[in-house]
Amino acid sequence: EALAQSLKNRADYVSDEYQARNASHNLSLQRSRFYPRFHLDGTYARDSRHNPLGAEGDGWVGGISFRWDIFDKTLFDDISKARFEEMKSKEYLAQRKREIAFQINESYRRVDEAKRRLDVAIEAVAQAEESFRLIKLRYENNLSTMVEMLDAEVALVQAKSNAIIFQSEGYEAVG
């Protein structure tokens, strides 16, 4: 669903799609050059020696012509070139579609990774808070030193800082 929506909204893919369609039309146009051509011509004329718009004489001329270029080597070359251009544009279109699918997959994975990192950071904050609480109780009962309590507080602040950083990375991954 995300791929279909992206393909519909991406200007580069739509442009490649139009180029592929144009190449297909060009191939059918080149193939149509093999068809015979008929031309029908007709003319009516009025003549006068004395009066420019007079009608002393009039005449009809009509003709039909038929042309069929079946031995023209350039037709085959043009069709081969058009077929190659069609294949090339369709391959570009398929490559663009694979590239967009890869980008979508990469974006989903990046969001999932950011979510998991945030979950780990939240768990680390909870553990650091519990550790700080226990060391603070030990310090208040003179069972721990000031340095241990300060180390626990630094670990708590670092864990909260990491949680904030991972949360902002999560927002960035979502876009």
Which pLDDT tens digit goes with each residue over 33-60? 888 888 899 887 777 777 766 667 777 7
Confidence of residue 162 (pLDDT cuts 50, 70, 90): very high
Q: Is the pLDDT of residue 134 over 90?
A: yes
Q: What is the pTM of this model?
A: 0.62
- Rounded Cα distance between 165 and 158, Å, is 10
Query: Tell me: the pLDDT tens digits for 11-29?
Result: 888 999 999 999 999 999 9
Between 76 and 84, whose confidence is greater?
A: 84
Distances (CA, A) of 36 to 40, 42, 83, 92, 111: 13, 20, 21, 34, 61
DSSP H/E element including 140: helix 73-140
- Rounded Cα distance between 81 and 87, Å, is 10
